[in-house]
Copies of this chain bind each other. A is one copy, B any other.
């Protein structure tokens, strides 16, 4: 589950040990959160004692930040990659939603570090996750802005809605033990998102369009 089988008590090369420690830390932080996780726990999980941890990382905070940055980056790349890979907007939506589902289903519940980080004290960490979210939103908003007749702010708001839908949907799907199969869940969310942005000026090119009512109304 942790990748390497933690051969308890073995002497590892510096690089291998570091990689193993990162995996152990990821698991413990993901399970318990930043505050509840003790450095002893991480060391023990890695089958090693605490000072070894401090030979590889200057402190608990830095260790956490390293992991946070890694996985935040992974999310951004998955999402922006999904959007850049094609020009067809429907495929983009489908791929972006799928990216969230795959990220969340990724190894070691690492998504928890990004989506449920319990470290609000450190501004460094906060900025890492916020910036990652922003770049995801930007990727989506970029596609929305160029194609739809919306200004920056409104396009971003729309993009945030889509991101929120994907993120929360993916998290819930995972927590519900995937009672709905992945592909169908992705299809459901995609359908929700795709129909949602349908009706804004030029976003839809393959499906039906409804020229009437492209500004929101109500009240």
Chain B hits for A195, CB < 8 A: 195-199
Stretch at the interface among A4-12, A31-39, A64-72: A31-39
Specify how many copies of this chain sit in the oligomer. 2
- Cα–Cα, bound, A196→B194 (Å): 7
Stretch at the interface among A41-49, A51-59, A74-82, A184-192: A184-192
Q: For the complex, is A63 an interface residue (Cβ under 8 Å from B)?
A: no
Chain B hits for A168, CB < 8 A: 160-161, 163-165, 167-168
- Cα–Cα, bound, A33→B217 (Å): 38
Stretch at the interface among A16-24, A103-111, A115-123: A115-123
Most chain B Cβ neighbours within 10 Å, of A36, A183, A196 = A196
Query: Quick one: which of B180, B187, B208, B210 contacts A217, CB cutoff 8 A?
Result: B187
Query: Quick one: which of B120, B208, B218 contacts A32, CB cutoff 8 A?
Result: B120
Pair A161/B165 contact, Cβ less than 8 Å:
yes
Q: For the complex, is A158 an interface residue (Cβ under 8 Å from B)?
A: yes
Q: For the complex, is A176 an interface residue (Cβ under 8 Å from B)?
A: yes
Chain B hits for A213, CB < 8 A: 207
Pair B120/A188 contact, Cβ less than 8 Å:
no
Query: Quick one: which of B35, B190, B216, B218 contacts A218, CB cutoff 8 A?
Result: B190
Chain B hits for A208, CB < 8 A: 210
Q: For the complex, is A140 an interface residue (Cβ under 8 Å from B)?
A: no
- Cα–Cα, bound, A84→B208 (Å): 32
- Cα–Cα, bound, A153→B119 (Å): 33
- Cα–Cα, bound, A177→B173 (Å): 31
Chain B hits for A94, CB < 8 A: 218-219
> With contacts A33-B118, A161-B193, A190-B218 known, what are 12 further pairs, Cβ within 8 A?
A32-B121, A94-B218, A116-B120, A118-B120, A153-B179, A153-B180, A156-B172, A157-B180, A160-B173, A161-B168, A164-B168, A165-B168
A interface, CB within 8 angstroms of B:
32-33, 35-36, 90, 94, 116-121, 137, 153-154, 156-158, 160-169, 172-173, 176, 179-180, 183-185, 187-193, 195-199, 207-208, 210, 213, 216-219
